[in-house]
């Protein structure tokens, strides 16, 4: 059996207290494995983003544990959590979060700069990753000059330059047309997923479900279904 990348047990998250207490996630359990692409789907407000935030070391659960490659991440202190997110997790945000005044290469190099790597060497490495995502010779281009699909690829290059074990994409096709969205997800599965990486995708876009190895369905803060590929 494939190695477990993430194992979450009994995750509960609430906000507020007393009469204002609201449960966002209610007792979620899941395993995700290296070498697979897992989709987390469900209506708005179902707890998908909250779950993802707990799995990635951003939001502390009120109850429950998260093991990432055998490490209980919520026993880490704040500095250790910051290092964990920088070195283990790669994020691709829905709105890309590219810096408009930086070139594409500079945007991609940011994780290396945060690790205090040499600037010039980081830019050279960033251009290699732009080549990986099909944007060779676009390193000096500003994000505003790129299409939505190209900006998404820049965000993917930035997310993988640190060679993270876990790659998380939040609504990666929300701002893209159907054909471009499918192209991006197909590209990620064919070129970014490998035996040493697990990819989690939160999405409302059923048009890309064919690319998932497994689909986890959430509703009202609970995981209510798990669908294997091709079922």
Cβ neighbors of 35 (< 8 A, separation 6 or more) are 2, 193, 194, 195, 196, 197, 198
Q: Assign 3-class secondary structure to 150-162.
A: HHHHHHHHHHHCC
Q: Per-residue pLDDT tens, the chain, 231 aa: give them.
A: 469 999 999 999 999 999 999 999 999 999 999 999 999 999 989 999 899 999 999 999 999 999 999 999 999 999 999 999 989 999 888 788 899 999 999 999 999 999 899 999 999 999 999 999 889 999 999 999 999 889 989 999 999 999 999 999 988 888 888 888 898 899 899 999 999 999 999 998 888 999 999 999 999 999 998 777 655
| Count of residues making up the chain | 231
Q: Is the pTM of this model over 0.95?
A: no
> Which residues make Cβ contacts (< 8 Å) with residue 143, sequence separation at least 6?
96, 98, 99, 100, 102, 104, 107, 151, 154
Tokens 């369905």: give the residue. Answer: 217
Q: Tell me, rounded to whole angstroms, the distance of Cα 160 from its chain centroid.
A: 10
Q: Which residues contact 108 (CB under 8 A, 6 or more apart)?
A: 126, 129, 130, 154, 157, 158, 161
């Amino acid at each position: 059996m494939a190695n477990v990348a993430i194992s979450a047990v009994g995750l509960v998250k609430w906000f507020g207290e007393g009469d204002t207490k609201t449960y966002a996630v209610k007792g979620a359990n899941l395993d995700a494995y290296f070498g697979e692409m897992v989709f987390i789907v469900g209506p708005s407000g179902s707890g998908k983003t909250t779950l993802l935030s707990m799995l990635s070391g951003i939001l502390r659960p009120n109850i429950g544990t998260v093991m990432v490659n055998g490490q209980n991440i919520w026993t880490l202190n704040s500095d250790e959590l910051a290092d964990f997110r920088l070195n283990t997790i790669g994020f691709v945000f829905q709105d890309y979060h590219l810096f408009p005044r930086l070139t594409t290469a500079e945007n991609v190099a940011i994780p290396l700069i945060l690790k205090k790597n040499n600037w010039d060497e980081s830019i050279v490495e960033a251009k290699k990753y732009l080549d990986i995502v099909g944007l060779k010779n676009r390193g000096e281009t500003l994000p505003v000059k790129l299409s939505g699909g190209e900006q998404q690829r820049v965000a993917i290059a930035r997310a993988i330059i640190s060679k993270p074990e876990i790659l998380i994409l939040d609504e990666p096709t929300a701002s893209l047309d159907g054909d471009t969205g499918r192209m991006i997800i197909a590209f990620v599965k064919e070129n970014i997923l490998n035996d040493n990486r697990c990819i989690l995708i939160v999405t409302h876009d059923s048009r890309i479900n064919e690319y998932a190895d497994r689909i986890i369905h959430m509703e009202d803060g609970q995981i209510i279904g798990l669908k294997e590929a091709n079922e």
